[in-house]
Amino acid sequence: MKHRINILVYATLITLTCIFLSDSPWFVWIIILLTIIFSVILTLGVLLLKFNYFLPSLIRLKNKEVLLTFDDGPNPENTPKILDILQEENVKAIFFLIGNKAEKHPEIIARILSEGHLIGDHTYTHNNLMATFSTAKLIKELTQSQATLKKLTGNRIPIFRAPIGYTNPNFARALKELKLHSIGWSLRSYDTVNKDATKLKKRLVSKTKASDIVLLHDNLDITATVLQDYIQEAKANGILFASTMTIHKLQHG
């Protein structure tokens, strides 16, 4: 919807400029300025999932709990470590799984479910160029990941997160076609780039606030290293992490 509004406003302003200002010495510069503004908004829409530019995504919880989400797994070394910590701390999370990785580790999938966590679709291949895929190619990709996860879990997986968080109109059409709901995040951990465990934990503890959805990765050593200290310090600061009831509500819309 926001994308359509942006196009409509841009087209209207261009039309009005051509009608009323075509003889102005500023005509070309006005056209350039309007095009730059349109392009900047479009680029932010692609790069920032929380902008909800092309499609609606859940960015924050409606209650005061904090939801931990883990992308890019399952990982045979770190996902079990993370599950151990979550179980010890009585925290529930969502694991956005890559289909071709999930196929190799059905035992981890079974454990995620048995311990009360939620599984989300993170595509079958996590191709970093997926934002350039056509709608048909995206539907094929997601149909494959959906089939894989359904085979492993016994249930349809209705929630989805785009690789790298990039979206576009093709993603919007594909998710609508497959009846998938996008879940984004309000707090990005930057565990993929921050290689200092102390700094990463400090960032997470200081930034986490009520209703946040936190983006983490269960394929990284550093995430497994800092997770328990982060949870414990956040709890000491009054943070409530997602409960079984919250996970249940997300699962059933």
| pLDDT given at position 220 | 97
Catalytic residue status for 117:
no
| pLDDT given at position 61 | 95
Q: How does pLDDT run across 15-46, given as a tens digit for each residue?
A: 999 998 888 999 999 999 999 999 999 888 87
**pLDDT over 80 at 251, yes or no:** no
| pLDDT given at position 250 | 81
**pLDDT over 70 at 199, yes or no:** yes
Structure-token pair, residue 251: 């699962």
Catalytic residue among 105, 212, 217, 218: 217
| pLDDT given at position 202 | 97
| pLDDT given at position 253 | 58
| pLDDT given at position 102 | 97
Q: How does pLDDT run across 70-104, given as a tens digit for each residue?
A: 999 999 999 999 999 999 999 999 999 999 999 99
Catalytic residue status for 71:
yes
CA gap 203, 156 in Å, rounded:
35
Contact 99, 144 (CB under 8 A): yes
**pLDDT over 80 at 64, yes or no:** yes
Structure-token pair, residue 13: 């302003």
Higher pLDDT, 221 or 195: 221
| pLDDT given at position 1 | 61
Q: How does pLDDT run across 142-175, given as a tens digit for each residue?
A: 999 999 999 999 999 999 999 988 899 999 999 9
Catalytic residue among 71, 72, 212, 218: 71
Q: How does pLDDT run across 103-149, given as a tens digit for each residue?
A: 999 999 999 999 999 999 999 999 988 989 999 999 999 999 999 99
- Which segments of the chain does DSSP mark as H helices, in order? 2-20, 27-47, 78-89, 99-102, 106-114, 135-153, 169-178, 197-207, 221-236, 244-251
Residue 52: band (very low, low, confident or very high) from pLDDT cuts 50, 70, 90: confident
